[in-house]
Amino acid sequence: MYFDEARDAFLTETVGPFEEFPWVIAHVSIDYEREIVHPVREVVVRTRVATIGRTSVTFEQQVAARDGEIAATSRSVLVAWDETARTARVILDEERAKLQP
């Protein structure tokens, strides 16, 4: 859940909300390193774009507990989506520029 929220916030801030930059998740992997006990008041989620392909964006993320220790890492691939054609679409140059670090 932390990964999804941080990734959504990143996309909304860079290329706009889902209505402007629709996408689907093609892959997610998560490695859990240590426990974070619920309810936790605060975690830090670091999100970065690892690669941008023709139609996809690969994210690498970390969740850190309040003490700074890494609790989990994730790698996810999102595909830019054409809602009308119901298929992947090419990431536009202006979108690519916004997504690049």
pLDDT tens, the chain, 101 aa long: 899 999 999 999 999 999 999 999 999 999 999 998 878 788 999 999 999 999 999 999 999 988 889 999 999 999 999 999 999 999 999 999 999 97
CATH number at residue 12: 3.10.129.10
C-alpha angle with apex 26: 51 to 38, nearest 5 degrees? 95
How many domains is the chain built from?
A: 1
| Residue 41 lies in domain | 2-99
- CA 83 from chain center: how many Å? 19
Whether the model clears a pTM of 0.75, i.e. scores above it, the answer is yes
Q: Which runs of consecutive H residues, i.e. helices, occur in the chain?
A: 2-14, 93-99
